[in-house]
Amino acid sequence: MTDTSMTYIQFLLDERRRLDTDRDLTTLLHSVATACKAISNTLKNGALADVLGSLESENVQGETQKKLDVIANDIFLQRCEFSGVLAAMVSEEMDHIYDIPSRFPKGRYVLLFDPLDGSSNIDVNVSVGSIFSILRLPEVPDTNSYDAVLRPGVEQVAAGYALYGPSTMLVLTTGNGVNGFTLDGNIGEFRLTHHNITIPEDAAEFSINASRAQWWEPPVQRYVEECVAGANGPRGKYFNMRWVASMVAEVHRILLRGGVFLYPIDEKNRDAGGKLRLFYEANPMAYLIEQAGGAASTGRERIMEIAPQSPHQRVPVALGSRHEIARLERYHQEYDAQSS
């Protein structure tokens, strides 16, 4: 019986005892949580702390960096390199793979992360998050090259996110289900509040940036139009729509009450491969959604089976309640069969 007042580190130690989890993974997951607590603390003062606004710089994605993008990235680097169990880190905010400084021991783990997802929401005080994915290499590499870390999502050993919302939460999977923890400000620790999160198989909400409708492929247009048609349409029921422009907030809502999140490939982003990044957005969220009983697809293939070609690769994303994703995949199959 899991004690829901259990702290995050107690939960990790309990999992390690019950499931013989690798000690180094426990160490790394503790370091990640510490980084998320530090970021939460930095965010909460907002404009009072002079950390809002943008920098002159752009990241590897060609996106203008927010001050907090860089601050959050530095917090992840400092808090996690110290763990002594990492071979390298890959961040949305860094062009190149981050080698662990020689003053720290190295290990077999690779941490892939988006330090502050949805940061365009920061200046208007809307929820943002941090997303992380963890791979374990066969051995400690002498030198780091991206080749060593270009592994498919099915090889993740852990993934999760921190959601900096009305409360700060950390949601985690190590391949044994999904559990949610809420930051207790009184003790400065995450405490287990959402044990064994299971996503509803059906949905009554969909999330998509509807301003891009003119560029969607027909199967996506069909799916969304049927949702909008509601009770008088083919679905025979009403759907609500949500778009927070913060993937972490969308995925969290979907994990707790069902739904689908779609960022499909479209005429405008096709050359880039889509909008969301495989390594530190799509794969970790896909792992969480699948572990909670949902599905995560590009519309045509399982996200976690994609063989990565580059560390900042973008992919189409459709994830959420299993029955909805199956329907969307069927629409893509029918469209592709008709087109060919």
Q: Report phi then psi at 23, rounded to 5.
A: -55, -40
Is residue 247 near ligand P6P by the rule CB under 6 A?
Answer: yes
Among 11, 77, 91, 118, binds ligand P6P (CB under 6 A): 118
Is residue 278 near ligand P6P by the rule CB under 6 A?
Answer: no
Is residue 266 near ligand P6P by the rule CB under 6 A?
Answer: no
Residue 254 or 304: the one with the smaller Cβ distance to ligand P6P is: 254
The torsion angle over the Cα atoms of residues 235, 236, 237 and 240, rounded to 10 degrees, is: 40
In the complex, what is the shortest distance from the CB of residue 170 to ligand P6P, in angstroms, rounded to a whole number? 17
Among 73, 91, 246, 298, binds ligand P6P (CB under 6 A): 246
In the complex, what is the shortest distance from the CB of residue 87 to ligand P6P, in angstroms, rounded to a whole number? 26
Give the full edge-to-edge strand order of the sheet including 317-320: 240-241, 205-207, 260-263, 317-320, 295-297
Is residue 315 near ligand P6P by the rule CB under 6 A?
Answer: no
In the complex, what is the shortest distance from the CB of residue 6 to ligand P6P, in angstroms, rounded to a whole number? 30
In the complex, what is the shortest distance from the CB of residue 154 to ligand P6P, in angstroms, rounded to a whole number? 23
- Residues with Cβ within 8 Å of 219's Cβ and at least 6 positions away in sequence, in order, are 299, 328, 331, 332, 334, 335
Is residue 21 near ligand P6P by the rule CB under 6 A?
Answer: no
What does the angle CA 162 – CA 274 – CA 116 come to, to the nearest 5 degrees? Answer: 20
Given the structure tokens 């048609």, which residue do they identify?
229
Is residue 117 near ligand P6P by the rule CB under 6 A?
Answer: yes
Residue 109 or 280: the one with the smaller Cβ distance to ligand P6P is: 280
First to last CA, the chain: 53
Residue 252 or 275: the one with the smaller Cβ distance to ligand P6P is: 275
CA nearest to 162, candidates 76, 248, 251: 248
Asked whether 137 and 145 are in contact (CB, 8 A), the reply is: no
Asked whether 245 and 120 are in contact (CB, 8 A), the reply is: yes
Residue 144 or 246: the one with the smaller Cβ distance to ligand P6P is: 246
Is residue 262 near ligand P6P by the rule CB under 6 A?
Answer: no
Helix axes 322-339, 218-229, angle to 10 degrees: 130
In the complex, what is the shortest distance from the CB of residue 312 to ligand P6P, in angstroms, rounded to a whole number? 12
Is residue 310 near ligand P6P by the rule CB under 6 A?
Answer: no
Is residue 245 near ligand P6P by the rule CB under 6 A?
Answer: yes
Residue 247 or 315: the one with the smaller Cβ distance to ligand P6P is: 247
Is residue 92 near ligand P6P by the rule CB under 6 A?
Answer: no
Please provide the size of the chain in residues: 340
DSSP H/E element including 115: strand 109-117
Is residue 213 near ligand P6P by the rule CB under 6 A?
Answer: no
Size of the site for ligand P6P (CB under 6 A): 9
Among 209, 240, 309, 333, binds ligand P6P (CB under 6 A): 209
Given the structure tokens 């980084």, which residue do they identify?
35
* Burial of 290 (C-beta count, 10 Å sphere; 0-12/13-18/19+): buried
Binding site for ligand P6P (CB under 6 A): 117-118, 120, 209, 245-247, 275-276
